[in-house]
Amino acid sequence: MDDLTILSTTKVCNVRLLRKLQENIERARMKIKLSKSRSISIIKGNLSDHRFHVGKELIPTVSEEPQVEQLRKEVASGLENIDRTLLPGKLKCFCMQLVSSYVRKWLGLPRCLSSIGFYGKGMLHLPISSLVEEYKCAKVRLEMMLLDLSDPFWIPLAATEQAMAALRHKDIVGRVQEGRSSLGLGASTPVWSKASPSQRRKMVVQEVCREEEARRCAQAVAQANQGQWMAWEGVEKRKISWKELWEMEAFRASFTIRAAYNVLPSPANLSQWYAEDMVCPLCPSLATLKHILVGCKTSLTQGHYTWRHNQVLISDSRQLGRARYWKMLADLNKKLCFPAEIAATNL
């Protein structure tokens, strides 16, 4: 936590918030730096002399120690935020007019003075730069950086042109059906010739990502062991978010990734890595990852695959069997039997 601002309508609420904040900060083994904190109290538009405390220490007011450097940073940060917005140039210029009016006010200049007086580099050069000029210089600097890039493996301009050519080719070919869904069920994408500039930028970025994914898939096809997931059918894709990864235990995340790419220490993999026996210890079959997880008949007969699930069912059946209003029937730990209400069998 870096910066925190507390606003309230009454003094009592502000004192209560400060007390609660102090308790939470101390509980987290942290400390508020009062030397970098400031307070201000305004009542009906007038500045008040009321002081606030954190514990037994007094918070300095803004009038006592004005933060000129902090104000300069905030102004620069605000101008940078305006520069990073997606507003058109005329709206940015409108914002710049407001900034120029404050510059005139701070320097004690009349309103009739044009911006050339404090942005120009003529006879009198002030250390103030124009936002429009900085924006144009930043764009040109980025363009020249891409033009002069000496990376022998990847050139951004060439990749952009290739992606744009691929999108134009898609317009010529037309929309094609992908996957096993019915005709017309795919997600519609805008046409390159009719797309807006923002849509074109998004389409070019998506095309570059698609080409990178195609390159990775081509590399995975050449990997006989780690690329076996390319031949999977009927398997639902899973996208792990940062929240899920954060909540996972370390060994679970490791097992999930290694199981997906077949790099778990199974006997088949160990035989390739260390020349060990690759036969399943329970049956004479080859002990591959698929065989160990779902394909061993001995493990299925002995209940290795259903043990955890059966333990949950046993616990549920014990709890339900204590009731007096119904009769609980369970075929756990014995021969399976379908109830007659579900299916009539000879078992």
Quick one: 120 and 74 in the same domain? yes
Structural domain including 208 reads 155-172+192-222
pLDDT tens string for the chain (347 positions)? 567 777 777 888 888 888 888 888 887 778 877 777 778 788 877 777 777 878 777 887 776 655 556 666 777 777 777 777 777 655 655 565 556 666 666 555 566 555 655 565 554 556 666 666 666 667 766 776 666 667 777 777 777 788 878 888 877 777 666 666 666 565 667 777 777 877 777 777 777 777 777 877 887 888 777 788 788 777 788 887 878 877 878 777 777 877 887 777 877 777 777 766 778 878 888 888 778 888 888 888 888 888 888 888 888 888 888 877 777 777 777 776 777 777 776 65
Assess whether 106 and 128 both reside in one domain.
yes
pLDDT computed for residue 123 by the predictor: 46
Q: Are residues 159 and 137 in the same domain?
A: no
C-alpha gyration radius of the chain: 34
Contact call for residues 100 and 48 (beta carbons, < 8 A):
no
Q: What is the pLDDT of residue 303?
A: 80
What's the predicted TM-score (pTM) here? 0.42
> Hey, what's the torsion of the CAs at 133, 139, 141, 146, to 10 degrees?
-170
Q: How many domains does the chain have?
A: 3
Residue 187 domain-assigned (yes or no): no
DSSP state of 304: T
Closest to 162 measured CA to CA, from 223, 208, 104? 208
**Predicted local confidence at residue 99, as pLDDT:** 64
Nearest-CA neighbor of 106 among 132, 128, 122? 128
Task: Report the C-alpha gap between 19 and 21 in whole angstroms.
Answer: 5
Tokens linked to 75: 């102004």
Tell me, yes or no, whether 61 and 75 share the same domain: no
Q: Count the residues in the chain.
A: 347
Tokens of 258: 């290694």
| Residue 216 domain flag | yes
